[in-house]
Amino acid sequence: MKKRMAFVVMLTLLVSVHNTKAQMRVHLIDVGQGCATLIEFPCAAILIDAGGETNELYNSSDYLKTFIEDFFDRRPDLNNTLHCVYITHPHKDHTLGVPLILEDPYVILNVVTDGLEKGSGKPGQVKLHRLVQQREENDDPADDIGFEAVYNNEIGNTGITNAVIDPVNCSGTNPVIKILWGTSATNPGWSSTAFDNANNHSLVIKIQYGSSSLLITGDLEETAQYNLIAKYEGTTELDADVYIVGHHGSKNGTHQNFLNKITPKMALIGVGDPARQLSWTAWAYGHPNKGILDKLQNKLTATRSPITVKAGTAAKTFVNYPVTKAIYTTAWDGNVTLEANATGTWTKLESLTYQGMVNINTATLAELQTLPGIGTVKAQAIVDYRTSHGNFTTIEDLDNVPGIGPATIELIRPYVML
């Protein structure tokens, strides 16, 4: 039985029960000042970035580990398999958690990066690259991992895709995954500072699920955005319903002309809580920037329940800021999940905070699966046990359920009743 960190009970866990009607779900994982996005399809899952913030107040790797464990508990049909791992660029806040997904029981079928092996996130990027190389050293192709290092000279004005970049093949609505930007092997006319900045070599990823679309730009800055706009002039490749805002909401992460090309309905931002006043945090950078939030509020077409947040006006300087448009961030909302269907309809899935509301004698399968570490299999085991043995008389009776022991009972105790 997996031992879960005690902090799990403090998390807000999403009701994300798999069923045959599940569509595409975009899970922006709360890794603090960093990015990790898990995309869930009816037949597969992919991970884009695996970074985060780690300091004396926050350990993103613990949160990432727990999220992925709980996700696969809810989706046992996926057999702990990531069909592809994409790293937008080798900075630590995008690669820190890579070692976690290289551990058992996880299986990685494909890897896509910008090919670079420098920067603060070099260790994570290199680990992925070396794993790919090691798997092809023997003569058995069965354990090989598909790999693509994406360079801009390979990309036409419709993007690039192949069986590695897009390994997801679902019946019904089959998603289309493209890379629109990668590494510039030669300087396209930028300053040497801009060319040496790995942010400008970030993968730009477009995912189309029927009429629903998502654009992820890593930390691509304005310098490269001008080139990106020019590359796709006259096409709709940059247009997307949902935009994962570049560079954590930094003032140099979303140029107005770029936003005009995207025309998003909703926006997601992977960013830390500015209450953590330490180096290398959202507070230290002033993220998300108020000017960027202004641009998003003026451009987005979908709305959200009004919320007042902290917006950065400079490093370490924030003001209260009212948000009414559909901007969701890990700083304000924790883990964020959007669901899309094939007709272009997007829905923000609400989270359920544990408040001791789950009655283990009457709860449905869906309700049981909202408990920490209780996925599809354990939830079904609880239902089967009470059907054959009658109602539980104490919480400790759960120890008689296959797959559940004292550690799991302790984790769910604050959130269950009889």
Count of beta carbons in the 10 Å neighbourhood of residue 77: 12
* Token pair belonging to 331: 């700083």
**What average pLDDT values come out for the chain (418 residues) when binned by 10 residues?**
33 38 85 96 97 91 89 91 98 96 96 96 96 90 93 95 97 95 96 96 97 97 96 97 97 96 98 94 97 98 95 97 97 93 91 60 84 83 94 93 88 81
Residue 349 in contact with residue 337, Cβ under 8 Å? yes
pLDDT of residue 357: 64
pLDDT of residue 373: 79
Q: How far apart are CA 152 and CA 180, in angstroms?
A: 8
Q: What is the pTM of this model?
A: 0.82
**CA distances to 120, 133, 179, 190, 243 from 156, in Å:** 30, 27, 10, 20, 22
Of 225, 323, 330, give the one whose Cα is nearest residue 282. Answer: 330
pLDDT of residue 365: 83
pLDDT of residue 351: 55
Q: How far apart are CA 336 and CA 93, in angstroms?
A: 18
What is the sign of the dihedral through the CA atoms of 370, 376, 379 and 383? positive
